[in-house]
Each structure stands twice: as C-alpha cells, then as structure tokens.
Amino acid sequence: MNNLLVIMADQFTPFMMGCYGHPTVITSNLEIPLLVSGPGDREQSVIDTPVSLLDVAPTLLELAEVAAAARLPMEGRSLLGSLDDDREVVSEYHAEGVFRLCFMVRHDRYKYVWFEDEAPQLFDLHEDPGEWTNRAADPSLRSVRADLHARLINRFDVDDLGRDVAGKIAQKRIVREAMHRNDTHWDHQPFFDATKQYVRTDATKSYVRT
C-alpha cells in the first residue's frame, strides 16, 4: 500500500504564567502533535526540529509528485529530505480584543516575540524552556535578536497589517454595540422539537402514501 497517514490536532487551552486561553504565543500554546506514518521500512523516531502546519501541504504535494510549476503559491516547506537547522517557524496573533500586533519567530534554540509598541522578548528555549527570562537586552545575543527580527520583517508587512487590524477592531466595536443594544449573543442556542425530527409511524403501515 502507498497510503500516508498524517495525524494533527488542535492545541489545548494552556494555564501558564497566569494566562488562560489562546491569545498568547507561549510555546505550550503553539505546539501541537504531528504524527506521520507512511509505506516502507522506516524506524520510528521523534524529530525535535520545529516545523509548521504550513509545511504539511508542500510535503503532500511533493509525495504526490506534483510539479512545482503546477502548484499554487503557498507558504511552508516540504518536510521531506533534511530538516536543516535553518528552518524557521512563525506565528502571529491579532484577534480577540488584542490591540497590538503580536508576532513570534522560532529558529533553532531561540524564540523571538515582537509586539507593536512594546519591548521585544527573546528566549533561549534550551536553557529556559519555561520562557521566564527575557534575553532581548543581552549583549551577547544581539546578533541573534537582529537575525530573528529580520526574518520576521521579511515575512510580514507590519505596517499594512497594523492598518488592517485597526480597521477590523473598529468594525468589531460597531457590531458589539449593535448586539448589546439588540440583546443579541454569539452563544445562540437553537431549540429543536424532537417530536418533529424523526420519522414516527406504525411499523405495520406503508411509508408510501397512496
């Protein structure tokens, strides 16, 4: 068989550093399981190199031998071949009442977090997996910080995203005010009459009307 099995899952709700929910880029909130099993005699292994769900689609296309010229433009890199140390993983969060842009880039052992109009954060995940010590001001890591910041800026148009997010927040405020005035709620609960949901008839009678 030439079947390939890919198993992924959503992230769980974290309870770390006084944070609850998903509006954070704490590593425990970003990591999800990714299991891949395919044909052939391959030894089971665990790969520590950070990868992204964006890498899954290019991987499947390469396995299906779809020529690069026939593919739509997409982010991500195939997981086939060598997972070299230059692979980076990025994340962004600009929703659910977050009023500042938030980006994260992970490369090798370092993780860089950039907030609009706030001091950046830099963590050495080998020495500090819990992300308690911000090393952004550490002179010995100045080149690491500069490299990660450049990777982020090359990936995102921060100014354009800022304008887009600001506009959408204004729209959400209008919707929220309208919902408040009309006593409308997102958690709408539809009610069903179970007596009308199923076929209820005498088993001795025909279902066909004459």
41-79: per-residue pLDDT in tens? 667 788 878 888 888 999 889 888 898 889 888 888 888
Would you state the pLDDT for residue 149? 95
Q: What CATH number corresponds to the domain at position 15? A: 3.30.1120.10
* N-terminal to C-terminal alpha carbon distance within the chain: 52
| 25 exposure class (CB count in 10 Å sphere: 0-12, 13-18, 19+) | buried
Q: Which DSSP symbol is given to 40?
A: S
For residue 22, the one-letter residue type is H
Would you state the pLDDT for residue 144? 96
Domain for residue 30, yes or no? yes
Rounded mean pLDDT of 175-189? 84
CB 57 within 8 A of CB 76: yes
Would you state the pLDDT for residue 120? 93
Domain for residue 171, yes or no? no
pLDDT tens, residue by residue, 89-147 = 888 887 766 667 889 999 989 999 998 888 999 999 999 998 999 999 999 999 999 99
Domain for residue 175, yes or no? no
* Structure tokens, 183: 């006593």
pLDDT tens, residue by residue, 70-101 = 988 888 888 887 666 678 888 888 776 666 78
Number of structural domains in the chain: 1
- Give the model's confidence band at 19: pLDDT under 50 very low, under 70 low, under 90 confident, else very high: low
Domain for residue 132, yes or no? yes
Would you state the pLDDT for residue 110? 95
Domain for residue 196, yes or no? no
* Spatial separation of the C-alpha atoms in residues 39 and 79, rounded to whole Å: 16
- Residue with the bigger pLDDT between 23 and 148: it is 148
Would you state the pLDDT for residue 14? 57
Domain for residue 162, yes or no? no
Domain for residue 179, yes or no? no
Q: Is the predicted pLDDT of residue 12 greater than 90, yes or no?
A: no
94 Cβ contact partners less than 8 Å away, ≥ 6 residues apart:
101, 102, 161, 165
Domain for residue 169, yes or no? no
Q: Which domain holds residue 24?
A: 5-156
